């Protein structure tokens, strides 16, 4: 069920311009979730045997703006459209639940399967985990013989200084070069001195705040150019596991940046961790693996030329047009995973990115 309120303007002016403006507020009550049902119904007791029901209410609010330009003069013809959308999304109600875990997207992997959740008060499909807060450095530790600086780094038995929250519930032996997590939990109204699963919190949204697209087509005499671009801004991508997490599943590939800039005693990075083959560390879900997925991508550029009729008539041809096009010519993004257009609910790095295609062709009519 959907309740929708719209306020829109649709206008044309100065002959060549068009404007479409729409403010909308939409409440939908069709989020699917699994709810506990009485065992007497005979559906079994496992979490996967609970039936899906329409239990959720979600709010979508936003603004859409579209600007168009259309003109012809002399040998020119130009059409351009620019679309922009601002979008807010919030889960309002889940039939008594705090959140629904989108478990199906992370099955088969070791990290907690409730990384992606629809949680009351947050956008649909948000990421939950620890908040990474830099990297543990040598001065954060004490070691044997009253922290004797003469002892070689590799011979030290590091102990985290007591002013840091104790992370041993999630990392057995915290070391220099490990990711530091924020201690945010306040059980009984007081901060505990430990990093535990209570410190798992909202990390970011998979939904973009802004969507942008534009298209342009221009003709000049027999030459034409068309372009199509799109982008989204403000969304996050969570990528861990294959191709990102060090030594994951024995396959081991990570990004060049993570390898070259990893924490070592010679390179005490505050951004990139030391590389471990350690399943406990590898399965910790944190903002360390959360990336800004904002991007702008030119989807297509096409250039064409239609030959003059008088010229081709001599060769017995009715129409001849040459076309050169590029799919995905370029993408602007800070994402170091392969592709900002990856499905938002895929959390591993081993997916096939979009490819760039160059095409050259001609249309011939005889
Ligand atoms: Ca805590």
The H or E element that residue 25 is part of is: strand 17-34
> Rounded to whole angstroms, how far apart are CA atoms 85 and 211?
5
* Residues 95-136: tens digit of each pLDDT: 888 998 876 554 445 566 688 888 999 998 899 999 999 999
- 160-165, Cβ contacts within 8 angstroms, sequence gap of 24 or more: 160/136, 164/136, 164/140, 165/192, 165/193, 165/194, 165/195
> Rounded to whole angstroms, how far apart are CA atoms 55 and 37?
13
Contacts of 4 by beta carbon, 8 Å cutoff, 6+ apart = 24, 25, 26, 27
Query: How does strand 319-333 pair with strand 223-233?
Result: unpaired
**CA 165 / ligand 1 centre spacing (Å):** 7
Tell me the mean pLDDT in the region 337-344: 74
Tell me the mean pLDDT in the region 234-246: 81
Domain coordinates in residue numbering, the chain: 2-130+200-240+285-365
Whether 46 shows a pLDDT value over 90: the answer reads no
Lowest mean pLDDT among 20-29, 36-45, 46-55, 194-203: 36-45
The Cα angle at residue 90 between residues 86 and 93, in degrees rounded to 5: 155
**CA 284 / ligand 1 centre spacing (Å):** 15
Residue indicated by tokens 């206008």? 11
pLDDT band at 347 (very low <50, low <70, confident <90, very high): confident
pLDDT of residue 239: 82
Are the C-beta atoms of 248 and 92 separated by less than 8 Å? no
**CA 252 / ligand 1 centre spacing (Å):** 31
Are the C-beta atoms of 289 and 336 separated by less than 8 Å? no
**CA 329 / ligand 1 centre spacing (Å):** 47
- Of all residues in the chain, the percent with pLDDT exceeding 90 is 54
Lowest mean pLDDT among 131-140, 198-207, 215-224, 329-338: 329-338
**CA 166 / ligand 1 centre spacing (Å):** 9
323 C-beta neighbours (distance < 10 Å), count: 15
* Residues 8-33: tens digit of each pLDDT: 888 888 889 999 999 999 998 866 66
**CA 180 / ligand 1 centre spacing (Å):** 13
**CA 282 / ligand 1 centre spacing (Å):** 20
**CA 144 / ligand 1 centre spacing (Å):** 27
pLDDT of residue 357: 92
**CA 185 / ligand 1 centre spacing (Å):** 4
pLDDT of residue 53: 64
* Residues 51-95: tens digit of each pLDDT: 566 678 989 999 999 999 999 999 999 999 999 999 999 999 988
> Rounded to whole angstroms, how far apart are CA atoms 341 and 293?
8
Cα radius of gyration (the chain):
28
- Of all residues in the chain, the percent with pLDDT exceeding 70 is 86
**CA 186 / ligand 1 centre spacing (Å):** 7
DSSP 47: G
* Residues 176-195: tens digit of each pLDDT: 999 999 999 987 778 889 99
Residue indicated by tokens 């249309």? 363
């Amino acid at each position: 069920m959907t309740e929708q309120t719209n306020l829109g303007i649709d206008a044309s002016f100065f002959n060549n311009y068009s404007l479409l403006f729409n403010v909308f507020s939409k409440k939908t009550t069709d989020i699917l979730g699994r709810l506990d049902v009485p065992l007497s119904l005979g559906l079994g007791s496992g979490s996967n045997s609970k039936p899906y029901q329409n239990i959720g209410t979600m709010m979508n609010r936003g603004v859409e703006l579209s600007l168009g330009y259309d003109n012809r003069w002399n040998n020119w013809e130009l059409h351009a459209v620019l679309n922009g959308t601002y979008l807010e999304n919030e889960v309002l109600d889940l039939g008594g639940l705090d959140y629904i875990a989108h478990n199906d997207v992370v099955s088969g992997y070791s990290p907690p399967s409730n990384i992606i959740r629809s949680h009351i008060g947050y956008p649909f499909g948000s990421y939950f985990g620890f908040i990474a807060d830099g990297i543990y450095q040598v001065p954060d530790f004490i070691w044997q013989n009253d922290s004797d600086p003469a002892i070689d780094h590799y011979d030290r038995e590091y102990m985290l200084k007591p002013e840091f929250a104790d992370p041993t519930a999630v990392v057995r032996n915290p070391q220099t070069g490990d990711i530091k997590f924020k201690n945010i939990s306040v059980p009984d109204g007081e901060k505990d001195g430990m990093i535990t699963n209570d410190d798992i919190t909202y990390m970011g949204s998979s939904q973009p705040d802004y969507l942008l697209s534009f298209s342009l087509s221009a003709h000049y005499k027999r030459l034409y150019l068309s372009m199509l671009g799109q982008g989204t801004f403000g969304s996050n991508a969570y990528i861990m596991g294959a191709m990102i997490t060090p030594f994951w599943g024995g396959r081991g590939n990570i990004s060049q940046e993570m390898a070259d800039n990893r924490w070592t005693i010679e390179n005490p990075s505050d951004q990139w961790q030391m590389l471990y083959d350690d399943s406990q560390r590898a399965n910790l879900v944190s903002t360390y693996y959360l990336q800004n997925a904002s991007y702008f991508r030119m989807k297509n550029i096409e250039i064409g030329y239609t030959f003059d009729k008088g010229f081709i008539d001599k060769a017995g041809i009715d129409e001849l047009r040459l076309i050169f096009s590029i799919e995905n010519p370029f993408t602007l993004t800070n994402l170091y995973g392969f592709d900002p257009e990856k499905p938002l609910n895929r959390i591993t790095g081993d997916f096939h990115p979009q490819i760039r295609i160059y095409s050259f062709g001609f249309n011939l009519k005889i």
